[in-house]
Chain A
Amino acid sequence: SQQGEEDPQALSIQEGENATMNCSYKTSINNLQWYRQNSGRGLVHLILIRSNEREKHSGRLRVTLDTSKKSSSLLITASRAADTASYFCATDSNSGYALNFGKGTSLLVTP
């Protein structure tokens, strides 16, 4: 079952602008992860934020988590054409160690 839901479904920006994607989920979580997928490729892990953390940074990425609103956001600063990809949030599932993935946000960064 897909617990996470990303918003917007698609986002188009120019190089140098910031990109913000949001994720909402339904039940309590241990942590929330963000993944990136280039077209036709596997997913790559970007960042994990635990339920007791509010904000985390990794390079040009900033993730926030609001457990009271059951939502997270991923901010990519100073975007580059190479950031063009789909971005997925993932949360714990009730299927053992598997994750629930949202449908993703498709980001297009134009030069």
Chain B
Amino acid sequence: DGGITQSPKYLFRKEGQNVTLSCEQNLNHDAMYWYRQDPGQGLRLIYYSQIVNDFQKGDIAEGYSVSREKKESFPLTVTSAQKNPTAFYLCASSASGPGETQYFGPGTRLLVL
């Protein structure tokens, strides 16, 4: 999992609750990403950030929000607007530039109570 960490490993969300997933990297990477993975599926891009204080929506951004106040940190909030949040969430980082190798965290599994 390299120098990128995610917490918690498991997270439970109640109806109507916002929850925040943490992602930290010490690889000095400018770019960071959030992906969602459903069982037996590939990764779908939620949000990405190519530099501090800037981020862009990915393919499935609805119901999610992010911030990028520090280079090392890219937290993801799953809001109550996300009606089907149960999934495995993966954070990654990379050097700047298209097609760079991405380094992934160990993931957070979000479950709805």
Q: Which secondary structure dominates where chain A touches chain B?
A: loop
Counting CB contacts under 8 A, is B106 at the interface? Answer: yes
Contact, CB under 8 Å: A92 / B59 = no
Question: Which of B42, B94, B99, B109 is close to A101, meaning CB atoms less than 8 Å apart?
Answer: B42
**A29 contacts which chain B residues (CB < 8 A)?**
99
Q: How far is the CA of A1 from the CA of B35 in the complex (A)?
A: 12
Q: Which of A43, A95, A101 contacts B56 (CB 8 A)?
A: A95
CB-contact partner of B104 in A31, A43, A97, A103, under 8 A: A43
Q: Closest CB of chain A to B33's CB: distance in Å?
A: 6
- Quick check: B48 and A97 within 8 Å, CB to CB? yes
Known A33-B99, A95-B48, A98-B48; 10 more pairs at CB < 8 Å: A30-B98, A43-B43, A45-B101, A45-B102, A92-B99, A97-B100, A98-B58, A99-B99, A103-B42, A106-B40
Closest 3 CB pairs of A and B: A42-B104, A103-B42, A101-B43
- Which interface class (under 10, 10 to 19, 20 to 34, 35 or more) fits A? 20 to 34
Contacts A29-B99, A30-B98 hold; do A97 and B41 have CB atoms under 8 A apart? no
**Which residues 80-97 of A have a CB within 8 angstroms of B?**
88, 90-93, 95-97
Known: A43-B104, A44-B104. A104 touches B42 (CB 8 A): yes
